[in-house]
Structure 1
C-alpha cells in the first residue's frame, strides 16, 4: 500500500508485461512485481497471469501495456504483441473478467482486436503511458519543460515533458534510440562488458572479457544498492545472488576469481563499473538538453548522476512510495483510463 489518492468503487488493474517481470497496480493502491522470464516460457504467460490476477479479486477492468514483445523468443514485434494480447485475453477469460484493453502510443486504450491489427502502436508503449501520466500529474511544475528519468533493470527512459504533454514526436524504440531518449542501460540485466572495456587492477588497466560473466545486479549488490538474496540463482552464472558470488563474477571479468580478489577489492572493481554507468546516463541527459525539473522514477535511481543537483527533482518513490514507483507504468495505465 502507498499514499495514493482515494479510489472509486470501480477498481481498475493496470498490468505491465515485460520480458523479465510482470508488474501490477490497481486503483486501490495494491501493487506487485513478479519475476517471469518471458523469453524462456512464452506459452506459460496466460497461466502466470491467471495466478497473479487472483491477488486482485476486486478488479472490474484490466488495462495492459507491454515491452515483452521484444523478447527474443519472438521473431518480431508483430508476433510478440499478438502472442501477448492472446495470452492476456485467455487469462482474463479464465478469471471470468471482461475483455482487457491495451494502451497504445496514441495515448488511448483499445480492444484486443485493434491491438492485434496495430501492433506497432501497442509495442513497447509502457514508457509512453508513464510519461503521459507524469505530464498530467505534474503539469504545473513542468510548465517550462522537464524530463522524466525512469531507470529500471534493463533500460533508462529519458522523456522530455512540457505543458502537460509528452514533448517528443518519437514513438518507436528505433526513433527513441536515434534521438537518445532510450538508453539501453539498466541496474539489473545489463552486462558489465557492455559498459566498460577495461578495469583498473593494481594501478594498470586490464581489458575485460567480452562475456556475460557479471551484470549490473552484481555491481549494485556489492555497492549496497540492491539486497542480497542467496535463494535467487537467476544470475549470470546460475549461482546465488549474494556478495561472495557477485564478487567472484566481477573478478571473472578480468580473468580472476575469489582466490585472488577479496570482497573489498571486488567492490572497488564494481565502483568503476557503476561510475561508468552514471557517466553514460549523465551524457544522455546532457545531450537532450533542457533545464527543467527531473521527474525520477524506477528502482535504480542510484545510477542518476550526482553532478546534476542544480536541477529540481520530483521523486516518484517519495510521492507514491517505492513499491508503486517500481511498478510505475502499471500504475500509470490504471490511472489514465477514463
Structure 2
C-alpha cells in the first residue's frame, strides 16, 4: 500500500493558472485540480493558488510557463526565480522538467533555462507519444494553442523556444478564454458593414464562446474584461462594445451572431497554423488530432474540418474515465507526472 510520501505530484505552473495532478506509484491517477493564479501580480498569488488545492504530499515534478510573466525582466530570471520559489514551497527534492534535457533538480534549473522555459507542450506531447502512437497534439488552453506532431514514440517539432514555435505555427497566441477579441481580427461584420474593432480590452474569447454556448464549465477562472458578471447578457454587452454598440439598442441575437462569426475567425486562424505544421510532413494523413485544454472543443472541430479522427487526450492520460475531462483540461500536469514515472 502506498503512503502519501510515495505519491507523485505533477505541477504545471503557468502565468494565469496552477494545475496539479496526483499520481500513485502504480500509475493510477488520483486527482487533477486547477486554480486561477495571476502570477504576474506576485508570488503571493502562487501561494493562494496552492492553498486553493486539496492537501497532498509527495514528490513534486514541475513544468512551467510562469517564467514568461512580467513579474521577471526575462525568461532566464523567471526560471531561476520560479524554480527557487517552488523548491521552497514543494521541497528541495523538486524536479523541474527541462524538455529535451529531461528532469533536473530545481537548484540546477537556472543552468537549463532555455530548455525549462515554457516546456509544458513538450511534456504533453512526449507523454502522448509514448502512450497512444502517432498523432497531432492540439492543446487549446485559455490563452494559447500548441500544435505538435508525434510519431513512432517521438515528438517532431520545428521550433523549441516561444519565438521559434510562433514562427513555425506550433504556438498560436489564441485561446478559449483570455484572448482579447481585438486580437482576432481587424473588423467584424455587423448590420451590413465590416466594422473596425475598437482597440480596447473590452471583451475576450470567453465572451464569444459563452455566447455560442461552447465555453466549458470552469474554463473562465479570471475576472471578465470589465470585472462584471459572466452571464450571456454581460458577455453580449462586452462584445457589442467592441463594435461601438450597446445591448438594448442592439439585441442579444445580434450579439450571438457576432460571436458566431468571431468564433469562425478564430477557428480559421487555427486551421492556418495546423496547415503550416502539416506542410512539413512527418505524420500519417490518418493520424488523429489529440485534443487537450479547456478549448479542445475547437480541436474537435479542427479534426472535422481536416478530415482526421479526433481523440481526447484525457482518455489517454487519465485511465479513469471519471478524471478524463480534468486530465484533458490539465494535460501538462498529468503528463509531467507520468513522464517522471516511466
Q: Is the Cα contact below 8 Å between 2:18 and 2:37 reproduced in 1?
A: yes
Q: Is the Cα contact below 8 Å between 1:148 and 1:297 reproduced in 2?
A: yes
Cross-structure match for 1:198:
187
1:69 matched to 2:67: yes
Give the direction of change, closer, same or farther, for the CA distance of 1:287–1:8 in structure 2 (3 Å limit): farther
Cross-structure match for 2:43:
43
Q: Is the Cα contact below 8 Å between 2:14 and 2:66 reproduced in 1?
A: yes
Give the direction of change, closer, same or farther, for the CA distance of 1:135–1:227 in structure 2 (3 Å limit): closer
> TM-score, normalising length from structure 1?
0.88
1:22 matched to 2:23: no
Structure with higher helix content: 2
Report the Cα offset of residue 259 of structure 1. Answer: 2.4
**Uncovered stretches (5+) of structure 2, i.e. residues with no partner:** 24-28, 319-323
Q: Is the Cα contact below 8 Å between 1:19 and 1:39 reproduced in 2?
A: yes
User: Which deviates the most, 108-117 or 244-253?
Assistant: 108-117
**Uncovered stretches (5+) of structure 1, i.e. residues with no partner:** 1-5
SS at match of 1:19: coil
Counterparts of 1:22-171 in structure 2, within 5 Å, are: 22-27=18-23, 28-40=29-41, 42-45=42-45, 47-48=47-48, 50-52=50-52, 55-57=54-56, 59-93=57-91, 99-139=93-133, 142=134, 146-171=135-160
Distance (whole Å) between structure 2 residues aligned to residue 273 and residue 204 of structure 1: 15
Report the Cα offset of residue 268 of structure 1. Answer: 0.5
**Aligned match of 2:327 in 319, 324, 327?**
324
Q: Is the Cα contact below 8 Å between 2:36 and 2:49 reproduced in 1?
A: no
Report the Cα offset of residue 177 of structure 1. Answer: 1.0
Q: Is the Cα contact below 8 Å between 1:23 and 1:330 reproduced in 2?
A: yes
Cross-structure match for 2:307:
310
Distance (whole Å) between structure 2 residues aligned to residue 7 and residue 119 of structure 1: 34
Q: Is the Cα contact below 8 Å between 1:135 and 1:165 reproduced in 2?
A: yes
Report the aligned-residue RMSD: 2.3
Q: Is the Cα contact below 8 Å between 2:312 and 2:328 reproduced in 1?
A: no
> TM-score, normalising length from structure 2?
0.87
Q: Is the Cα contact below 8 Å between 2:40 and 2:69 reproduced in 1?
A: yes
Cross-structure match for 1:3:
none
